[in-house]
């Protein structure tokens, strides 16, 4: 049985360097994206790793897995897909556009499960081409958790750029939020979370490294901000839910973020089924949205 935990530094470095072993030529046609699959049977989560992850995103111990824990647990499968000789895009410089999670029932933290991941569904975007990474966790013959990650490979595009528009804000009108808090994100957050996530991407490590890739400062992982916002809003409360998050702007380090959540009529999710919630993460001083999260819990 495989126990998933934070990888040791040298093996992690070797797997990261392996991403650059093969030349990457991109794609001229989204339909040509190869379907690359990886799987891991009989996995369990290391309790120490899970405790460290919970602490990093502000969660206390619980009887259920956090909604994004399996996304991080599948990182070795994702690395293997991105490092495959057939994969057309460079791993360095990929931009996380969105994250979707569908969970049909709760999984106990100690329960064994099988993981499956594959590349899928390339599309033209205004700033390049995006692709999907689909991850599934199977328990007792049932797919109980599914994650759909969309990432952008920046480059040329066949999609015309839209007219410039003002930055979106997280204003929900007159509806009163059930959560409204400003949170400070320290400069070291990216490095601490990277050690748990097993992610050596330099844009999360230090401002000097991030500047080499066009960022003013280091930025925190989108999955950290998403998980931290959900923890602050105490969501999801139900073991069965559908979550959609769209990453609009990076969260620089250090910085402050404002987390607001609405439930019921104020959520305005457009999803008539389930119990709706909406959560936004924004810049407190400008109001510009960093992450927009829609959540529908099963009744």
CA distance 235 to 287: 22
Q: What is the pLDDT of residue 176?
A: 84
Q: What is the pLDDT of residue 16?
A: 54
Q: What is the pLDDT of residue 9?
A: 45
State both tokens at 166: 């003002």
Q: What is the pLDDT of residue 207?
A: 94
State both tokens at 82: 């991105």
Measured from the Cβ of residue 219, the count of other Cβ atoms closer than 10 Å reads: 22
Element (H, E) at 70: helix 69-73
pTM confidence score:
0.88
Q: What is the pLDDT of residue 199?
A: 80
- Rounded average pLDDT per 10-residue block, the chain, 299 residues: 55 53 75 95 93 94 89 92 91 90 93 96 93 97 97 80 53 73 97 88 90 91 97 93 97 97 67 75 97 91
Return the closest-CA partner of residue 231 out of 70, 62, 68, 59.
Answer: 59
Measured from the Cβ of residue 90, the count of other Cβ atoms closer than 10 Å reads: 18
CA distance 109 to 70: 10
Q: Are 238 and 298 in contact (CB under 8 A)?
A: yes
SS3 238: coil
| Cα-Cα-Cα-Cα dihedral sign, residues 280, 192, 255, 153 | negative
SS3 138: strand
**CATH code 3.10.129.10 region(s) in the chain:** 1-159, 167-299
CA dist list (Å): 57 to 43, 52, 115, 203, 224: 23, 9, 23, 19, 7
- Burial class from Cβ neighbours inside 10 Å (0-12, 13-18, 19+) for residue 218 reads buried
Q: For residue 213, how far is the Cα from the chain centroid? A: 20
Measured from the Cβ of residue 203, the count of other Cβ atoms closer than 10 Å reads: 24
Q: What is the pLDDT of residue 272?
A: 44
Q: What is the pLDDT of residue 27?
A: 86
Name the architecture of domain 1-159. Roll (3.10)
Between 3.10.129.10, 3.30.465.10, 3.20.20.20, 3.20.20.70, what CATH number should domain 167-299 receive? 3.10.129.10
Q: What is the pLDDT of residue 264?
A: 76
Phi, psi of 193 (to 5 degrees): -70, -35
């Amino acid at each position: 049985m495989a126990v998933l935990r934070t990888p040791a530094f040298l093996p992690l470095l070797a797997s990261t360097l392996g991403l650059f072993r093969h030349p990457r030529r991109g794609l001229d046609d989204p339909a040509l994206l190869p379907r690359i699959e990886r799987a891991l049977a009989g996995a369990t989560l290391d309790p120490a790793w899970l405790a460290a992850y919970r602490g990093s995103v502000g969660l206390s111990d619980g009887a259920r897995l956090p909604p994004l824990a399996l996304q991080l647990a599948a990182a070795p499968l994702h690395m293997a897909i991105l490092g495959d000789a057939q994969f057309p895009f460079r791993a360095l410089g990929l931009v996380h556009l969105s994250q979707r999670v569908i969970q049909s029932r709760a999984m106990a933290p100690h329960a064994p499960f099988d993981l499956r991941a594959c590349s899928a569904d390339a599309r033209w975007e205004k700033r390049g081409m995006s692709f999907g990474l689909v991850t599934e966790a199977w328990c007792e013959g049932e797919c109980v958790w599914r994650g759909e990650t969309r990432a952008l490979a920046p480059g040329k595009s066949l999609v015309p750029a839209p007219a410039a528009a003002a930055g979106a804000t997280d204003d929900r009108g007159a509806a009163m939020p059930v959560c409204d808090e400003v949170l400070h994100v320290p400069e070291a957050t990216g490095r601490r979370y990277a050690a748990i996530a097993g992610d050596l991407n330099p844009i999360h490590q230090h401002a000097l490294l991030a500047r080499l890739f066009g960022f003013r400062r280091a930025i925190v992982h989108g999955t950290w901000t998403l998980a931290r916002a959900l923890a602050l809003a105490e969501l999801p409360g139900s073991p069965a839910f559908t979550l959609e998050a769209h990453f609009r702007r990076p969260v620089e380090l250090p910085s402050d973020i404002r987390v607001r959540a609405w439930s019921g009529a104020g959520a305005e999710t457009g999803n008539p089924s389930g119990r709706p919630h909406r959560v936004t993460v924004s810049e407190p001083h400008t109001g510009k949205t960093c992450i927009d999260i829609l959540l529908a819990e099963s009744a």
